């Protein structure tokens, strides 16, 4: 039973490391983040939909420039957080592939660091989301709410299509 747990845990860590690396690569390779590049900056939560919705709101050139400025002002902080997260993930992965016994308690420190870094990334993403939201007109906010509801409906439909029949 123990080898199965180790294999499963290794697969989970590999998945987490690759996801974090993908997110980091996407953020770092984006030239100057603007509305279309905001997705990976937001993390989980309401910010994930922001770039998809904001591109449909017909922002004025001034609004687009302000969004670019907001994204640029948060880039350094987010880049540093993603680098730290990648380093902790790498440290955790190294422990998985080192010979000898490995217990969950051996990874407590890394697990706590990952939780803290994800919380910081989420907090920074929230700052970006709120700053961008302040730029929107009441009409744009209403349109954004409609788009959000439509996306929610589509997501529910997709989930329904993917569920297994019992």
**pLDDT score at 17:** 45
Residue 165 confidence (pLDDT): 66
Alpha-carbon distance 74 to 165, whole Å?
A: 45
User: pLDDT-based confidence at 163, cuts 50/70/90?
Assistant: confident
CA distance 106 to 104: 5
pLDDT in tens, 35-71: 334 334 444 455 556 677 888 898 999 999 999 999 8
Residue pair 119/43 in contact by the 8 Å Cβ criterion: no
| H helical segments located in 30-107 | 39-42, 50-54, 61-96
The whole-number pLDDT of residue 33 equals 39
Q: Would you place residue 28 in the very low, low, confident or very high pLDDT band (cuts 50, 70, 90)?
A: very low
Dist CA 154 CA 166 (whole Å): 23
pLDDT of res. 94: 92
The three-state secondary structure class of 60 is coil
Decide: helix, strand or coil at residue 114.
helix
Burial per residue of 59-84, b for 16 or more beta-carbon CB atoms within 10 angstroms, e otherwise: beeebeebbeebbeebbeebeebbeb
Q: Is the pLDDT of residue 34 over 80?
A: no
Residue 89 in this model has a pLDDT that exceeds 70 = yes
- C-alpha closest to that of 114 among 129, 128, 130, 93: 93
pLDDT at 88: 96
């Amino acid at each position: 039973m123990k080898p199965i747990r180790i294999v499963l845990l290794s697969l989970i860590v590999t998945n987490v490391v690759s996801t974090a690396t993908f997110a980091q690569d996407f953020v770092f390779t984006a030239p100057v983040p603007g509305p279309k590049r905001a997705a990976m900056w937001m993390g989980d939560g309401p910010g994930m939909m922001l770039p998809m919705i904001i591109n449909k709101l017909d922002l004025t050139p001034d609004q687009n420039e302000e969004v670019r400025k907001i994204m640029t002002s948060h880039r350094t902080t987010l880049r540093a957080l993603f680098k730290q997260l990648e380093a902790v993930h790498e440290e955790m992965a190294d422990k998985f592939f080192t010979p000898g016994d490995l217990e969950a308690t051996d990874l407590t420190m890394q697990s706590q660091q990952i939780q803290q870094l994800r919380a910081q990334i989420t907090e920074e993403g929230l700052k970006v989301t709120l700053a961008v939201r302040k730029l929107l007109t009441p009409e744009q906010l209403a349109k954004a709410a409609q788009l959000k509801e439509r996306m929610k409906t589509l997501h529910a439909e997709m989930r329904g299509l993917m569920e297994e029949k019992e």
